[in-house]
Amino acid sequence: MADLLKVENLSAGYGEAVVLHDVSVSLKQGDTLALLGRNGTGKTTFMNTLAGATRQHGGTITLDGVALHKVPLHERAGAGIGWVPQERNIFKSLTVDENLTAVARPGAWTPARVYEMFPRLAERKTNLGTQLSGGEQQMLAVGRALVLNPKLLLLDEPLEGLAPIIVQELLRAIRRITREEGLSAIIVEQHPQAILAISDVAAVLDRGTVVHASSARALQEQPELLDRLLGVAR
């Protein structure tokens, strides 16, 4: 199967500060990439660069044949990027329903399908973003990315700071989105085993460079290597 995403020799950062150095990653249509690494290794910068929110110093990014690195930030959603940043970035002054309908684009993912997947959001359709719990805000952020009907979903630490029951609910949803629905995704997460279990391939960043790339299963089955790369085997 052809590559959906091809990142070659990417260097990027903020202003003159270069965080990513010569990063090359590829992802096939329908696959999920677990992007791992210790804190401060460049994972979020990589996601922000795909979304267009950093300064790119070198290299190329190709998404489904389009030179994404030439597409400005405000046009990346139209080019096929669905981005759920750490900050979630929901419209807190709008209702749940307004958050979804304001950005929806034609395609298989509709607000109704988001409500079916996240019944908590269906119960809170008329609630403002400020009236949602952290877990509900994360569900809404994922739903907003989905109704863009993207080619590639970017999830930056989607489980961070959430209660265990919400973590399990989100993991089930992510598994459905990627495994059952076949939407390609890149997931940054501090819970490596949970994400490796629902990913196809894995890459580990250290000091802004890729220091390991393999199938997700191969890395999951090597806890000693995982411990050496991340400092956490479980």
| pLDDT at residue 181 is higher than 60 | yes
Domain residue limits, the chain: 3-230
Per-residue burial over 40-49, b if 16 or more Cβ lie within 10 Å, else e, is ebbbbbbbbb
What pLDDT does residue 92 have?
93
User: What tens digit of pLDDT does each residue of 38-59 get?
Assistant: 999 999 999 999 999 999 999 9
- 3-230 classified as CATH 3.30.565.10: no
Task: Tell whether the model's pLDDT for residue 234 goes beyond 50.
Answer: no
Mean pLDDT of the chain: 95
Question: 125 and 101 in contact (C-beta within 8 Å)?
Answer: no
Closest CA to 104 of 76, 71, 144: 144
Average pLDDT over residues 7-16: 97
- Reported confidence tier of residue 233, pLDDT bands at 50, 70, 90: very low
How far is the C-alpha of 84 from the C-alpha of 127, rounded, in Å? 20
CB 193 within 8 A of CB 220: yes
Per-residue model confidence (pLDDT) at position 232: 56
d(Cα 158, Cα 177) in Å, to the nearest integer?
Answer: 14
Which whole number is the average pLDDT over 129-138?
A: 95
pLDDT digits (tens, 9 = 90+) for 84-118: 999 999 999 999 999 999 999 999 999 999 999 99
At residue 89's C-alpha, the angle toward residues 24 and 9, to 5°, is 10
Average pLDDT score over residue span 63-76: 96
pLDDT, tens digit, for every residue of 83-92? Answer: 999 999 999 9
